Amino acid sequence: MSVMCRKLCSSILFEHFGQIVQCVAEDLFKHGARPLELIRYATQLPLTKVKEALCVLIKHGFVRYSQAEKGLEFSLIYENVLLVLRYPKYMFFVKTMCGDESEMILEEVLMNGYITASEVITKAYKKIEQSPSGLQPSVPVLKEKFELLVKNQFLIHTVEERRNEKPDFILPNLNLTAIIKKIEGDNNSDPGDSKIYWKVNFDRLIQDLRDQIIVSAIRRRLDENAGELMRQLIFLMYLRTASWAHTSNPIPLTEIKEAVKKTNYPLLTHHVDQYLHLIEEDSSQFLKRVGDSGGGQFSVNMKEAFEQLAWATLENIVMERFGSKAARIFRLVRDKKYIEQEQIQQLAMIPAKEAKHLTYTLLQENYIQMQEMKKSGVSAAPIKTFFLFHIDLNVVVYMEVEHCYHALYNIMQRREYEVNSNKRMIDKQLRMQTLTTNLKEHGATEEQLAEVLTKPLQSNYLQIADMMTPSEKQQLDKVQNTIKKLGITELQIDDTLFLLTMYLRYH
Amino acid sequence: MEIEAGTSKKQDATNADTNPFEIIEQKILALAQARPKGISDKDLIIEMPDLPTVQRAQIINKLLSQGHFDLFKQGGSLLYRLRDPSKAKIAKGADNEEKIVYSIIEEAGNKGIWIRDIRFKSNLMPTQLSKILKSLEIKKFIKAVKSVAASKKKVYMLYNLEPDTSVTGGAWYQDQDFEAEFVDVLNQQCYRFLEKKREQMNSCRGGPIMARNVTFASSKEVWKFISDLGISKVKLSVEDLEMILNTLVYDGKVERTLSGDGSILYRAIEPLLDSPGLIKSTCGVCPVRKHCCDIGDVTPTKCQYITEWLE
C-alpha cells in the first residue's frame, strides 16, 4: 500500500464521513492493526469520538476487528474504502437491472452499511414520497424490489465472521401491515425481522462489472451477436464454476445452444457454432475449446481475458502518452519478448534516432525494462554486452494502478478546492432554493415569485446579499459544470483502476 | 560436314603437336573451373594418369606464376584454386600492397569493409593506404559506399558488387536516409486497403465465419494493390510490403494469421478496448506527474493543466 493510496483513501473518508473518521482511519493506515487505547492516544481525540468513528468504519466494512492477546485489535481494509468510488456505478447498474426503486433501496443500504429489511423499506418509502420524481411509493412494490435484489444476490445477510457459514439469501417473513403502520408513525409495531441485517454483496457487483467489461470487449471486437453469446457463456459459467475461478468448468455445446435459443437474437441462434468458433479463434483468447464430447466443450478463460485486457489498456495508455510510434515499439517488445535496440528500429520501421529516443523514453518511464546480457568469460568491454528490452507486465500494471490512485486523488482534491472556493455562492443558491420552495408552499404564484427574485429592493423577505446577480449566476453555472466534469472524470479513472485491479486479482 | 569435322580434328592434332603443354594446361584449367573449391594433386593424378609428375609440376608452376591459381593448404595436401578473372586483371600492373588491399576488400564481400579494418588487417600506414584505395577506386576495381548504419562511415567493396541490404538499408533508404514519410504513407495505404476489405464484411450474407474470411487479404494482394497505386518509385518486393504490414500489426490495427497454404494473411481488427478512462483525464497524460504533490510548485489545486482542461 503506497503513500498515494493512503492519501486517496484518506480523502475519500474525509469527503464522506468527516474529519474524525478520517483521522482514526489515518492512524490505522500508519500503524496497522492496533487496539482502541493506542488509537486514542495517537489521535488525541476523546474516547467517545474514537469509538463512534470506529463504529462507523466497522459498519461500512472498512475496519475489521480481531481478538488479540490484550483485547480487541482494529485494522483497516483499504480495498473496501476504495470501493466507495464505485458506489455510483453499482447504483447505476442496479438501476438498469432492477429499476428505480431498487436503486433507492441499494442507496439506503450503501449509506447505512447494514440495515434490516423493514427499515430500508421504510426509508425508501419516505424518500420516494419526498422526491420530485413521479414515482408513487408503495410498500408491496418496495418489498418486491427488495426481494428481487436479494434474488439477484446484490444483497446478502451479514454473518458474523467467526461463524464460517455459507452466505445465505433467505428472506425473512415481513409483516407488511406493520411496516405500513411504522411509516405512518407507529413505532410499536414489529415488522418481524429484527436483527436480520442486510448488506451489499460487493463481490457479486464486482463480478457483474467484470462481466460487462468482457462482454463489451467481445462486442467491440466481433459484433452484437458475439457479445450476447459471451454473456450467455458467462451465465452458464456461473452455474458450474466457483465465482473467482481462473477458467470455467467445461460448458457443453448443447447447453450453450439451449441458452442461446432463449435469447432474442435470431442470427445468433442460427450461427451459434460459427460464433463460438470466432470467439475461440480470436487472438483475445477469451474462450477455449477443451473437449469434443457432446458436440464440443468450451471453457471461459477469465485469467487470460484480463491479461489481454490489461495489455490493451497499457497499449492505449502508451499510445496516448507517447504517441502511436511509441505504442508500436511497446507492442513490438511485447511480441518479441526480448529484443535489441537495433532490431526495434528495423522492425518498427522508425528512423534510428526517433526509435532510440522513444525506446529510452519508455525505459525511463518504466513502461519497458532493460536486461543486460554479458557474454561469459570476457572482460566487461561494452561490445560484449547485449541490452535486451522486455516488458514486465506486473510491474507496469502496478505502476499504472499507482498512477490511477494519483490521478483520482488529484481530481478529488481539485473538486474539493473548487467547492470550497465557491462555498459562499453554492450556499447562497441553496438558501434561495429553499426559500423559493417555501414561498411556493405558501401559495405564492409564479409572478409573485419572479417579482421577489428579480426586484430585491422591494422585497421584504430578503436582503440584498441573498439575491443572485447575473454574473454570479454565470459563475455558479461554471462551477457546477466544473464539479460535474470532475465527478465524471473520477468515474472514468475508476474504470481503468477497476480493470487493472481485476488483472491483479487473477494474477 | 565430314570435311569440317575432319579439319577440326586435324587442327586439334596440329595444336597438340605444336604445344602439348598448352592442351594439358587447358585441361587443368577446365578441371579447376568445374571444381570451384579447388583441386589437389591427387585429383590431377586421377584425371590425368598418363601425365608424368615432373611435367605436371612444371605446368602447375607456370600457371601459378601466371596468376591463374591460388595455392592453398588443406589438411596437409596442397590445393589449387582458380582465380577469378577480375583478380587476374589486377595481377597485372599492380604492386603487392595493392594486391593485398584488394584481396582484403574482396574477402569482405558485398557487406563492404571499413577503412580502419583494412588498416588493421594490412598493417599499412594510413596515408599509404588511402593512396592505394584512391588508385584502386580510379581504376574502378573497388568502390566506396556509404553505410546506413553510420552516416559518416564509408565501406569499400569490389566495384561490380551490389551492396548488401544491411549497407543500403533496402528499399526504405534513399541516400542513406530512412524514408520515414514513405513508410508512413505505405503504412496508411495498406491499412486503407484492409479497412475497405473489412467494410465488405457488412454486405456479406454467408454467416459470421464467411464474413470474417472476406476481410482477410494475403500479402500478395496488398502488394498488388500498392503496386497498382503507383505511389512508389522504387520497385517493392512482397517481403518489403510484409515489413510494412508487420508495422501495422505492431500498431494494433491489423492481425496476422497463417493460412493453410503457408502464405500470410492480414486483416484489419478493432481494438478490444476504448481508450481507458485514466488518459481521458489530464492527470493521466500529465508530463510533470513526478513533481505533483500536495505542496510545492505542482499541486492539484493550482494545476495549470487541469485549469485549462476545465475551461
Fold that domain A207-299 belongs to in CATH: Arc Repressor Mutant, subunit A (1.10.10)
* The pLDDT of residue A438: 75
Is B222 among the domain residues? yes
Are B241 and B298 within one domain? no
For residue B134, give the CATH number of its domain. 1.10.10.10
- How far apart are the C-alpha atoms of A251 and A266, rounded to whole Å? 22
The nearest alpha carbon in chain A to B293 belongs to A410
Query: Can you read off the three cell numbers belonging to residue A38?
Result: 493506542
Are B156 and B193 within one domain? no
Total beta-carbon pairs less than 8 A apart between chain A and chain B: 143
B250 contacts A331? CB cut-off 8 A: yes
Residues 6+ apart with CB under 8 A from B5: none
Domain boundaries, chain A: 3-76, 83-200, 207-299, 305-391, 397-436+464-506
Are B72 and B93 within one domain? no
Per-residue pLDDT of chain A (507 residues; tens, 9 = 90+): 688 888 999 999 998 898 899 999 988 888 888 888 888 888 888 889 999 999 899 888 898 888 878 788 888 888 889 999 899 999 999 998 888 888 888 888 888 888 888 888 888 888 887 776 666 777 888 888 888 888 888 888 776 544 455 556 666 667 677 777 777 766 666 666 667 788 888 888 999 999 999 999 999 888 888 888 999 999 888 888 888 888 888 888 888 888 888 888 888 888 888 888 888 888 888 888 888 887 788 899 899 999 999 999 999 999 988 988 999 999 999 999 899 888 888 888 888 888 999 999 999 998 999 988 877 766 655 566 788 999 999 999 999 999 999 999 999 999 999 888 888 888 888 887 777 777 767 766 666 666 655 554 444 444 444 566 778 888 888 888 989 999 999 999 999 999 999 999 998
pLDDT at B117 over 80: yes
* The pLDDT of residue A360: 92
Whether the CB of B310 is below 8 Å from some CB of chain A: the reply is yes
Query: Can you read off the three cell numbers belonging to residue A266?
Result: 435470431
Fold that domain A3-76 belongs to in CATH: Arc Repressor Mutant, subunit A (1.10.10)
Are B135 and B153 within one domain? yes
* The pLDDT of residue A380: 57
Are B141 and B206 within one domain? no
Whether the CB of B271 is below 8 Å from some CB of chain A: the reply is yes
Is B184 among the domain residues? yes
The CATH number of A83-200 is 1.10.10.10
DSSP H stretches of helix in A99-201: 100-112, 117-130, 139-151, 176-183
Is B215 among the domain residues? yes
- Tell me how far CA of residue A176 lies from CA of A96, A124, A339, in angstroms: 26, 14, 70
* The pLDDT of residue B175: 66
Per 3-state DSSP, chain A is made up of helix, strand and coil in percentages (nearest 5) of 65, 10, 25
A331 contacts B278? CB cut-off 8 A: no
ipTM entry: 0.78
Q: How many Å is the Cα radius of gyration of chain A?
A: 28
pLDDT at B2 over 60: no
B194 and B217 in contact (C-beta within 8 Å)? yes
Taking CB atoms and an 8 Å cutoff, what residues of chain A touch B271?
Answer: 220, 312, 316
A320 contacts B285? CB cut-off 8 A: yes
Confidence class for position B15, pLDDT limits 50, 70, 90 = very low
Whether the CB of B247 is below 8 Å from some CB of chain A: the reply is yes
Are B210 and B186 within one domain? yes
Whether the CB of B295 is below 8 Å from some CB of chain A: the reply is no
Nearest chain A CA: its distance from B271 CA (Å): 6
User: Do A207-299 and A305-391 show the same overall fold?
Assistant: yes
Taking CB atoms and an 8 Å cutoff, what residues of chain B touch A354?
Answer: 180
The residue segments making up the domain with residue B239 are 179-268
* The pLDDT of residue A186: 66
A221 contacts B275? CB cut-off 8 A: no
Are B197 and B220 within one domain? yes
How many domains, in total, are found in chain B?
4
B310 contacts A348? CB cut-off 8 A: no
The nearest alpha carbon in chain A to B213 belongs to A278
Whether the CB of B301 is below 8 Å from some CB of chain A: the reply is yes
Are B184 and B243 within one domain? yes
* The pLDDT of residue B83: 67
Long-range contacts of B32-36 (CB under 8 A, 24+ apart): B32/B69, B32/B80, B32/B81, B32/B82, B33/B82, B36/B81, B36/B82
- How far apart are the C-alpha atoms of A132 and A251, rounded to whole Å? 48
**Helix, strand or coil, per DSSP, at residue B71:** strand
- Residue B276: which of A317, A324, A410 has the nearest Cβ? A317
pTM, 2 dp: 0.78
Is B4 among the domain residues? no
Are B119 and B149 within one domain? yes
The nearest alpha carbon in chain B to A354 belongs to B180
Are B261 and B285 within one domain? no
Are B184 and B247 within one domain? yes
Of B65, B82, B99, the residue that ends a domain is: B82
Of B111, B144, B168, the residue that ends a domain is: B168
* The pLDDT of residue A494: 92
Specify the CATH number for A305-391; select among 1.10.10.10, 1.10.300.10, 3.75.10.20, 3.20.20.480.
Answer: 1.10.10.10
